[in-house]
Amino acid sequence: MLASLRLRAVTTIIFSWCALAVPASAQDEDAFSEARQRLEAGLSAMVGSPISIDRVEETPSNDLIEVAITDGPVLYATRDGRFLLLNGDLLAVSETSVSNWTEQRRTKERVELISAVDIDDMIVFSPAEPAKGYINVFTDITCGYCRKLHLEMDDLNRRGVEVRYLAFPRGGLESDGARKLATAWCSRNRESSLTSLKAGVEMPINDCAGNPIAEHYALGNRLGVRGTPAIVTSDGQLIPGYRPAADIAALLGVE
């Protein structure tokens, strides 16, 4: 009899706990359902294919939830799903798109910082007619794709694109590339010297005092340049690597 009462009491406790536990789980799902829907819709729009979320869970932070993408990575988002952390960037999420809030801040900063550079400290290749647009290019003498881009200078200028070069020696300020860049910037005819050096012509090293190589290099690092060529458009977009002249003109809207 006593054993029967004990069994009945344990059974009652178990069922009571289950009855309490199920609504709590459902409540959590309801709390995150709006975030789940927003994130699934926004990420799907961003990548152009359906994205589903496997699970959404709490984190030690009251402000963030953990989001596990089905067959994908684990991400962190605000509890309402309006903001998402991805590779250190803060993304703003709507049901139709995802915008990189951090990159928007970087873009604004690039415009401000490059605008502060004296154009006389750049090597500028201008069209014969008034320019329709311009690009800033961090370049290195020893960079093959920098040479490839430079070979399209006439095409860029014909399309109305002005090219403003800044120095970015990939090997650092003590490298051969830095000394060759200094030679171009210290020349009386900078444009001609830069073109010759990129064509492989050997020239006496001229590392004159007051050249802007170190300042350009520091600026490039601050802007997130990791290699060359690195194109920064007039509106602050950072485009790593080589792009054909036609693509650059199309990007600037000067076709």
Splitting the chain (255 residues) into consecutive groups of 10 residues, what average pLDDT does each group show?
Answer: 37 34 46 88 91 91 91 90 89 90 93 97 98 98 97 98 98 97 98 98 96 98 95 96 97 90
pLDDT at residue 71, rounded to an integer: 87
Q: What pLDDT is attached to residue 164?
A: 99
Given 38, 79, 110, 146, the catalytic residue: 146
Q: Which of 140, 147, 159, 164 is catalytic?
A: 140
186 is catalytic: no
Task: Please tell me the predicted confidence (pLDDT) of residue 7.
Answer: 36
- pTM recorded for the entire structure: 0.75
Candidate list 38, 110, 143, 243, residue with the active-site label: 143
Cα–Cα separations (whole angstroms), residue 150 to 157, 172, 213: 11, 21, 19
pLDDT at 6 (0 to 100): 38
**170 catalytically annotated:** yes
140 given a catalytic annotation: yes
Q: How many CA atoms lie within 13 A of 250 on its CB side?
A: 5
Q: Are strands 161-167 and 133-139 parallel, antiparallel or unpaired?
A: parallel
208 is catalytic: no
